Amino acid sequence: MYQPQTRASLQPTMSKINIGQPERVLSLVGGAALTGFALFRWSAASIPALAAGLLLVSRAMRGKSSLYRAMGRNTAVKTNPRRVSVPHQQGIHVARAITIDRPASDLYQFWRDPVNLPQVINFIESVQFTGSNRAHWTIKLPGGMKSEFDVEVYTDVPNEVISWRSLPESQIQNAGSIRFRPAPGNRGTEVHLTLEFIPPGGPLGKAAMKMFDDVPGQYISQYLREFKQIMETGEKATTEGQTSGREKEVQR
Amino acid sequence: MKAVTWQGAGKMRVDNVPDPIIINPRDSIIKITTTCICGSDLHMYDGYIPTVRRGDIMGHEFMGTVVETGAGVTNLRVGDRVVVPFNIACGNCYYCKNEMWSLCDNSNPNAAAAEEMYGFSPAGLFGYTHLFGGYAGGQAEYVRVPFSDVGCFKLSEAITDEQAVMLADIFPTGYMAAENGDIRPGHIVAIWGCGPVAQFAIRSAYMLGAERVIAIDRFEDRLQMARDGGAETLNYEAVDVLDALKEMTGGRGPDSVIDAVGMEAHGADLDFWYDRVAQATRMETGRPVALRQAIEACRKGGTVSIPGVYGGFVDKLPIGAAFNKGLTFKMGQTHVHHYIPILMERVERGEIDPAFVITHRVPLTKAPEMYKTFRDKKDGCIKVVLKPDAAA
């Protein structure tokens, strides 16, 4: 049957190669040695050694590993840790959207002013510009801890998008973007916020984060809601500090 | 100040609590001169609505005078006499701008919880659970009104306190119920329940051109008040409602049906006892006895209007009857901000005196016992007005 070779149909075939070139050479050399060893020095260990050797040769020739696929590991695609703060398919990735009844220019200007961010995102203590596209962030961590890192703004299209990522020496590797696009029917601007980060604490931190995997999304939703409240109404809806009849407040 | 606080199912208490303070620039503080107990407060009193916390200040129907305004409020002055809608709305979002004030995007600080429950969050409400923001209510001497620049309606001398307080919820709610019934000249409207909202729905239905209104309840005093408003009445304990409605409408069925009862309906049939058990065991959160009957009674192509409050899930809704008769459903919390100016004008012109519904006037301190009287429908109790400044 004729199958047109479109980009879409080529994509999956190419992506099946998940072993990088250096690893394929090593696999071939190791596999050949193991196979030769098994064949020429026959013993009880020869059968498994032969099987392992042939497997290594085969994966070197084909460039594909089903084990890697199962593990989600890929050594064929190069990621440059110096340029990517959160490598592809690693870390926690959260994306949320909200529609705000204000022009994109107002929203962009608010977001571009570092003084405003802590109003919306409560884990940010401060943001200071240190260069034309560099900023120093101080964030609050649970338990009264703090973390500081430098961020570069690598995309800044006025009224459309701002994207940032942490610089390599940061304690918490993270990246994010905020995009603005007009909502249909004169309903203002759609705001799309994406954040990704590698949770502190290594694999343990990541596992802990996975257990509460809807928590980051809930936070992002709340930040967007409060951003909307400030932009549309000029204040954040709250009951904090209001009176009640709870025990500590009742005067008898 | 004194305030009515929720202390658990069946327990209301008048406590001395701190006076409210301005928190946001658009807040104002109102000294309350007249406030009410609403039928929907009874759902919390009876413990059928979750997310009420011990010590919450109740009440969402109130009026009074402005005693303090926030820095962002320029259209109100200290001393202004105002009525406040029961829903809190910002006036700036898509919903407020399109007159859907009870769906305000920005007034519920606990929107996340409401989104979990409903997908999206409606507006915050005064004194009506933490799902709707946990705002302190107005069965008190003072109240903080957020977004007071759009949430306080100034009153003319022509309107009394008791007339004004009916504009905070029940008159607009009854009026919107009638509007949602899509009433045209010549239409016959059937209304389940003869509580305060239904009383206003009866009178509003006639204002909107209904030919006849049939009201259904089991309490003679309530049925009498309905007849005073021009309705024909049915006592569901004495007659078969479905047969009676068919006969009274020449075999067609009512053009509009209004469920002014909601989640704690009573009934004479077996399904009422089914629902009592299901609700008591938390299999459902509402007993839609009135709603089921209304759907069944409605003529083909008719409209079902639901002002009665529902909070969660109901069982055995006859969706097949609704679908195959091609019914239209309209419902929701009242867009009070939209209706107050319209209805205030009708009151000022003398078309209606909304204070007709009041049966009990007591000091605020008597609120706990009045909750019980109102819930048990004792002593001819239909509408309770509380006076914070009256001596106990």
**Between A83 and A180, residue with greater pLDDT:** A180
pLDDT at A69: 61
The verdict on B107 touching A (C-beta cutoff 8 Å) is yes
Phi, psi of B259 (to 5 degrees): -90, 95
**Residue B294 corresponds to which tokens in the numbers above?**
């209304």
Indicate yes or no: pTM above 0.90: no
pLDDT at A79: 47
Whether the Cβ atoms of residue B126 and residue B60 lie closer than 8 Å to each other:
yes
A89: confidence class by pLDDT, cuts 50, 70, 90: low
**Residue A161 corresponds to which tokens in the numbers above?**
């998008």
Mean pLDDT taken over chain A: 81
pLDDT tens-digit readout, B207-264: 999 999 999 999 999 999 999 999 999 999 999 999 999 999 999 999 999 999 988 8
On the question of pLDDT at A207 being above 80, the answer is no
On the question of pLDDT at A121 being above 80, the answer is yes
Identity of the residue in A232, A235, A240 whose CB atom sits nearest the CB atom of B93: A232
The verdict on B136 touching A (C-beta cutoff 8 Å) is yes
User: What ipTM describes this predicted complex?
Assistant: 0.91
**CA atoms of B313 and A196, how far apart (whole Å):** 37
On the question of pLDDT at A2 being above 80, the answer is no
User: What percentage of chain A exceeds 90 in pLDDT?
Assistant: 34
For residue B332, give how far its alpha carbon lies from the nearest alpha carbon of chain A (Å). 22
SS3 content of chain A, % helix, strand, coil (to 5): 40, 25, 35
For residue A103, give how far its alpha carbon lies from the nearest alpha carbon of chain B (Å). 13
**CA atoms of A64 and A68, how far apart (whole Å):** 8
Residues of B in contact with A224 (CB under 8 A): none
pLDDT at A13: 38
A248: confidence class by pLDDT, cuts 50, 70, 90: low
Mean pLDDT taken over chain B: 95
A61: confidence class by pLDDT, cuts 50, 70, 90: confident
Identity of the residue in A101, A237, A247 whose CB atom sits nearest the CB atom of B55: A247
pLDDT at A11: 36
The verdict on B127 touching A (C-beta cutoff 8 Å) is no
**Between A197 and B281, residue with greater pLDDT:** A197
User: Would you call B16 and A243 a contact, using CB atoms and an 8 Å cutoff?
Assistant: no
Residues 72-131 of A with CB under 8 A from B: 99, 101
Kindly state the average pLDDT of the residues B51-72: 97
Residues of B in contact with A243 (CB under 8 A): 1, 3, 17-21, 57, 136, 144
**Between B243 and A117, residue with greater pLDDT:** B243
The closest of A233, A149, A95, A137 to B106, measured between CA atoms, is A233
For residue B124, give how far its alpha carbon lies from the nearest alpha carbon of chain A (Å). 9
**Between A127 and B88, residue with greater pLDDT:** B88
User: Would you call B94 and A188 a contact, using CB atoms and an 8 Å cutoff?
Assistant: yes
Least confident of A232-236, A248-252, B267-271, B298-302: A248-252
Query: What HEC string does A115-160 produce?
Result: CCHHHHCCCEEEEEECCCCEEEEEEECHHHCEEEEEEEEEEEECCC
The verdict on A248 touching B (C-beta cutoff 8 Å) is no
Count, residues in chain A: 252
Residues of A in contact with B141 (CB under 8 A): none
The verdict on A240 touching B (C-beta cutoff 8 Å) is yes
pLDDT at B278: 77
User: Would you call B112 and A222 a contact, using CB atoms and an 8 Å cutoff?
Assistant: yes
Testing the interface with A: which of B5, B29, B92, B126 to mutate, by most A Cβ within 10 A?
Answer: B92
User: Would you call A243 and B72 a contact, using CB atoms and an 8 Å cutoff?
Assistant: no
On the question of pLDDT at B84 being above 50, the answer is yes
B243-276 CB burial, b ≥16 within 10 A, e <16: ebbbebbeeebbbbbbbbbbbbbbbeeebeebbe
For residue B99, give how far its alpha carbon lies from the nearest alpha carbon of chain A (Å). 15
The closest of B246, B255, B247, B236 to B190, measured between CA atoms, is B255
**CA atoms of B346 and A6, how far apart (whole Å):** 69
Testing the interface with B: which of A239, A249, A252 to mutate, by most B Cβ within 10 A?
Answer: A239
On the question of pLDDT at A7 being above 60, the answer is no
On the question of pLDDT at A10 being above 80, the answer is no
User: Would you call A237 and B109 a contact, using CB atoms and an 8 Å cutoff?
Assistant: yes
User: Would you call A243 and B111 a contact, using CB atoms and an 8 Å cutoff?
Assistant: no
On the question of pLDDT at B329 being above 70, the answer is yes
On the question of pLDDT at A67 being above 90, the answer is no
pLDDT at A151: 92
The half-sphere exposure of A250 on its side-chain side, counting CA atoms within 13 A, is 16
A14: confidence class by pLDDT, cuts 50, 70, 90: very low
Torsion of CA B15, B359, B85, B329, to 10 degrees: 120
Testing the interface with A: which of B6, B19, B56, B94 to mutate, by most A Cβ within 10 A?
Answer: B94
Contacts of B77 (CB under 8 A, 6+ apart): B66, B69
